[in-house]
């Protein structure tokens, strides 16, 4: 019976369709189930903001607590339920020993573009976090395959990028949110594989070996262990919010708040706005204004900063009265389906975070490959976002 199931799960066609169906179900549950607690957290943040508005006099302290802490940190905190649901499903797949079957299925296809089947498991782990995914390449025996896999992993959207996709797809593609997310994630894997093929042509010419592995028996996932994985993911996410994200929000808020924008009838650009206008010409062909550009720059440190930066910048915009970040973005006439799609794609593909780049350097024992990853992801993100934006202008 088990051998019959394995023949189906590793079949060239049926195995691929089953894998796509499982990934679709994982994303559907992540978004649909996670929407309820996400709305509760957003409502809580809105209530806290209203409480401050009603009980504190106008001051920079009130603005800091409201615009910086509540809206900046709250914008990231709201996506905690989606993150832990995603990790729960990833745990189920790992506990059941299904991932080795998926790797066997994908090996048949990855050989067409010169990658090894064993590269697929680290790439799939990249959906959680790119850092442990790159560390997982240690199991790949040949160095050339290992380097290629490390260079492909940064194109896999880690969980830190999910808030960006959830915010914008929920606003501008609400009726097709799951499909848009599936296309983004599937497209990122395809782009990563194609770029790896280019790397292989440029740097490595050796032919990939066949992928052989003794499949472990299918197992019943442990619900307790999966809950433990959820708890660990939640703890790590909250720890990150309470440390690096909080610190970044304080810095971003201060740069956006000072110098004071209004002194009588005089308007002054904040330090952050000055910086945004300086980098805007490079990003304007992609449909981005200075706020979107600044958010992407802060996202280089950690991708969670993209949403928290937008939370700070748009809460500080007095021309848009809404309190909720999604509503504020929806009310901004600058945002369209075209530049929103471009923004999501750029967020999907550009520069790995600092921790990912450092891990590539450590695991490859060379800054060369970390530099290649940084430059190539930035170039690929810019080119594809530009093309998508121009096509989307015609379609939408």
**What is the Cα–Cα distance from 80 to 124, expressed in whole angstroms?**
20
**Segments of the chain assigned E as strands:** 262-263, 266-267
Is a pLDDT exceeding 90 seen at residue 379? yes
CA distance 146 to 142: 6
pLDDT at site 340: 94
Determine the average pLDDT of the residues in 259-287.
Answer: 78
Q: Would 308 be classed as within a structural domain?
A: yes
Q: Evaluate whether residue 275 is within a structural domain.
A: yes
Give whichever of 142-146, 167-171, 238-242 has the largest mean pLDDT. 167-171
pLDDT tens-place string over residues 357-372: 888 988 888 889 999 9
* Host domain of residue 92: 2-205+223-395
Confidence of residue 229 (pLDDT cuts 50, 70, 90): confident
Axis-axis angle for helices 162-172, 304-315 (nearest 10) = 50
pLDDT band (50, 70, 90) for residue 328? confident
**Alpha carbon 66 to its chain's center:** 26
Question: Cβ distance 28 to 178 under 8 Å?
Answer: yes
Question: Minimal CA–CA distance to 150: which of 182, 189, 122, 190?
Answer: 122
> How far apart are alpha carbons 209 and 170 in whole angstroms?
43
Quick one: average pLDDT of 42-63? 82
pTM: 0.77
Q: For the chain, what is the domain count?
A: 1
pLDDT of 318 over the 60 cut: no
Question: Rounded CA gap, 339 and 7, in Å?
Answer: 44
Query: What average pLDDT score do residues 60-88 get?
Result: 79
Which residue's entry shows tokens 């003794």?
A: 214
Residue 394: pLDDT over 80: yes
The predicted pLDDT at position 10 comes to 82
Which residue has better confidence, 142 or 291? 291
* Least confident among 29-33, 73-77, 342-346, 359-363: 73-77
**Residue 212 within any structural domain of the chain:** no
Q: Is the pLDDT of residue 321 over 80?
A: no
* Torsion region of 264: left, alpha or beta (phi above 0 gives left; psi -120 to 50 gives alpha): left
Does position 344 have pLDDT exceeding 90, yes or no? yes
What CA–CA distance (Å, rounded) separates 246 from 271? 19
Q: Is residue 210 domain-resident?
A: no
Within a domain: 211: no
Q: What is the mean pLDDT of the chain?
A: 82
How much is the pLDDT for 261? 58
Residue 215 belongs to a domain: no
Assess if residue 213 is contained within a domain: no
Q: If we measure between CA atoms, which residue out of 359, 367, 358 comes closest to residue 135? A: 359
pLDDT of residue 357: 87
State the burial class of residue 337 (Cβ atoms within 10 Å of its Cβ: 0-12, 13-18, 19+): middle
The pLDDT confidence band at residue 377, using thresholds 50, 70 and 90, is very high
pLDDT (mean) for 64-69: 78
pLDDT of residue 387: 95
Provide the pLDDT confidence category of residue 145 given band limits of 50, 70 and 90. confident
Distance (Å, rounded) from C-alpha 219 to C-alpha 245? 38
> What's the pLDDT tens digit per position in 93-106?
888 888 778 877 87
* pLDDT confidence band for 203 (50 / 70 / 90): confident
Residue 262, φ and ψ in degrees, nearest 5:
-130, 125
DSSP helix/strand/coil, 204? coil
pLDDT classification of 389: cutoffs 50, 70, 90 = very high
Long-range pairs of 237-245 with CB within 8 A, sequence gap ≥ 24: 237/80, 237/83, 237/84, 238/80, 240/302, 240/304, 241/73, 241/76, 241/77, 241/304, 244/301, 244/302, 245/73, 245/76, 245/302, 245/304, 245/305, 245/308
* Predicted local confidence at residue 251, as pLDDT: 82
Instruction: Tell whether the torsion through CA atoms of 346, 347, 349 and 353 is positive or negative.
Output: positive
CA distance 344 to 331: 18
Question: Is residue 85 pLDDT above 70, yes or no?
Answer: yes
Instruction: With H, G, I as helix, E, B as strand and everything else as coil, classify residue 262.
Output: strand
pLDDT at 342 over 90: yes
**89 belongs to a structural domain:** yes
């Amino acid at each position: 019976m088990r051998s019959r199931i394995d023949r189906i799960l590793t079949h060239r066609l049926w195995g691929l369709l089953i894998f796509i169906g499982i990934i679709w179900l994982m994303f559907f549950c992540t978004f649909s189930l996670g929407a309820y607690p996400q709305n509760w957290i957003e409502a809580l943040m809105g209530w806290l903001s209203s409480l401050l508005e009603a009980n504190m006099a106008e001051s920079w302290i009130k603005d800091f607590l409201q615009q910086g802490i509540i809206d900046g940190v709250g914008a990231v905190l709201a996506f905690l339920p989606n993150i832990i649901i995603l990790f729960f499903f990833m745990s189920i797949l790992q506990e059941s020993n299904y991932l080795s079957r998926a790797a066997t299925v994908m090996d048949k296809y990855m050989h067409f573009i010169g990658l090894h089947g064993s590269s697929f498991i680290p790439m799939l782990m990249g959906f959680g976090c790119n850092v442990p995914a790159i560390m997982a390449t240690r199991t790949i025996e040949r160095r050339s395959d290992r380097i290629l896999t490390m260079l492909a992993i940064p194109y896999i959207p880690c969980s830190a990028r999910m808030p960006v996709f959830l915010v914008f797809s929920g606003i501008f593609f609400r009726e097709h949110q799951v499909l848009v997310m599936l296309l983004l994630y599937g497209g990122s894997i395809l782009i990563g594989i194609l770029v790896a093929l280019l790397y292989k042509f440029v740097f490595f010419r050796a032919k990939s070996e066949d992928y052989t592995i003794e499949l472990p028996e299918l197992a019943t996932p442990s619900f307790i262990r999966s809950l433990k994985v959820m708890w660990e993911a939640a703890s790590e996410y909250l720890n990150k919010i309470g440390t690096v994200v909080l610190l970044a929000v304080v810095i971003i808020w201060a740069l956006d708040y000072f110098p004071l924008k209004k002194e009588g009838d005089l308007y002054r650009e904040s330090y952050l706005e000055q910086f945004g206008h300086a980098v805007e010409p490079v990003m304007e062909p992609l449909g981005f204004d200075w706020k979107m550009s600044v958010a992407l720059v802060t996202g280089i440190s950690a991708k969670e900063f993209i949403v928290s930066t937008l939370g700070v910048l748009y809460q500080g915009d007095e021309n848009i009265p809404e309190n909720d970040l999604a509503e504020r973005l929806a009310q901004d006439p600058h945002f369209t389906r075209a530049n929103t799609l471009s923004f999501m794609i750029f967020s999907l593909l550009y520069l790995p975070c600092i921790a990912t780049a450092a891990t590539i350097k450590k695991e490859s024992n060379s800054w060369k490959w970390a530099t290649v990853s940084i430059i190539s992801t930035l170039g690929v993100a810019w080119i594809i976002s530009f093309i998508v934006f121009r096509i989307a202008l015609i379609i939408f």
